[in-house]
Structure 1
Amino acid sequence: MRVTVLGASGAIGRLVVQQLLDYGHEVTALVRSPAKLALIHTHLTVVTGQLSDRDAVERAVSGTDAVISALGPSMKRSTTGREVTDGTRAVVKAMETEQVTRFIGLATPSLADPQDRPHWKHKVLPVMAGLMFPNALAELKGMTAAVTDSDLDYTIARITVPTNKPATGRIRSGFLGHDRIGSAMSRADIAAFLVSQLTDARYRRAMPAISN
């Protein structure tokens, strides 16, 4: 399968790229700085560019079977603007133009899925995020809406506390108030879940919460 990875040079994105290559997929990575990806492979194509670069986004998406986004907003309180939201909109537009329908990405339980039941995370996390990281929360809402308001065949995994612990292979997934989902999750397991969604149809057009 041909897979485009966004945010490929980030902590989760690099793991996604490596796992895809380990499984034998053809990977196209859109990155600002190829040096940060620090990976060379015969099945890896690197497209240099930013999300605001329409030509680079279209090159990265062209001919792909799916897009996996490990993008997330900056957690710096000084950050302003809607770079990730606008970039995600550009990706969605490019996917529609190239007739690529499968999108797999990330968000947090600060955003609810219609299949959730009332849960403390719906009340606590948005308040905390709004006070501590207001721009990041606005970006999460914007980038998620750009996908969920489209006709794309999406799965957006909601994570709470990513860690750098080794992969466990133990992944919980489901909807708040229905399923027993914790908070902490290793980035390696997050990457494994994202990659698994290429062939798993359980969460099509849904936003499952995931944890170890």
Structure 2
Amino acid sequence: MRVTVFGATGGIGRLVVRQLLDDGHHVTALSRSPGKLNLTHDNLTLITGELSDRSAVQQAVTGADAVISALGPSLKRSTTGTQLTDGTRTIVAVMDEQKVTRFIGLATPSLADPKDKPHWKHKVLPVMAKIAFPNALAELTGMTRAVTGSDLDYTIARITNPTDKPATGRIRSGFLGHDQVGSAMTRADIAAFLVSQLTDTRYQRAMPAISN
């Protein structure tokens, strides 16, 4: 499968790229600084560019069977702007133009899925995020709405507390108030879940919460 990855040089994105290559997929990654990926592979194509560069996004998406976005906002309080929201809108528009329908991405349980039941995370996490990371929450909200408001066949994994511990291979997924899903999860297991969604049809046009 040909998969385009955005956010490939981040903590989760690097692991997504490696997992895809290990599984035999062809990967195209768009990044401002692709050298940070520090990886060469016969099935890896690196494109230098910004999310704001529509032509670069078009180049990355053309010919893809699916898109995985490991993009996530900065948690610095000094960060401002809507670069990721705007960039995600560009990705969605280009995917629509190119007839690429499968999108797999990340969000937060601060944002509810219609399949959720009332849960404490819906009340507590948004308040905490607005206080500690207001711009990050705004960006995650904007990015998510750009995707869920489209016609894409999306799966958006909601994560709470990513860690750098070794992969466990234990992945819980589901909807708040229905399923036993915790908070902490290794980045390696998050990457594995994202890649698994290329062939898993359980969460089409849904936002499952995931954890170890």
TM-fit CA distance, 1:78: 0.5
2: distance between equivalents of 1:38 and 1:56? Answer: 20
Partner residue, 1:106: 106
> What secondary structure does 2:97 align onto?
helix
* 1:152 partnered with 2:152: yes
Partner residue, 1:55: 55
> What secondary structure does 1:59 align onto?
helix
Partner residue, 1:97: 97
Partner residue, 2:31: 31
Partner residue, 1:125: 125
Give the gaps of 5 or more residues in structure 2: none
Identical residues among aligned pairs (%): 78
1: distance between equivalents of 2:211 and 2:196? Answer: 14
* 1:188 partnered with 2:179: no
Q: Deviations over 1:26-62 (max 9, x none)?
A: 0000111011111100000001101001010000000
TM-fit CA distance, 1:124: 0.3
2: distance between equivalents of 1:98 and 1:189? Answer: 30
Q: Give the number of aligned pairs.
A: 212
Partner residue, 2:136: 136
> What secondary structure does 1:167 align onto?
coil
Q: Deviations over 1:160-206 (max 9, x none)?
A: 00000000100000000000000000000000000000000000000
TM-fit CA distance, 1:15: 0.1
Name the aligned partner's letter for residue 108 of structure 1: T
Name the aligned partner's letter for residue 106 of structure 1: L
RMSD (CA atoms): 0.4
Q: What is the correspondence of 1:168-207 to structure 2 with a 5 Å cutoff?
A: 168-207=168-207
1: distance between equivalents of 2:109 and 2:154? Answer: 17
Q: What is the correspondence of 1:76-95 to structure 2 with a 5 Å cutoff?
A: 76-95=76-95
TM-score after normalising by structure 1:
1.00
Partner residue, 2:164: 164
> What secondary structure does 1:75 align onto?
coil
1: distance between equivalents of 2:56 and 2:15? Answer: 22
Name the aligned partner's letter for residue 171 of structure 1: I
Partner residue, 2:116: 116
Name the aligned partner's letter for residue 188 of structure 2: A
2: distance between equivalents of 1:32 and 1:17? Answer: 16
TM-score after normalising by structure 2:
1.00
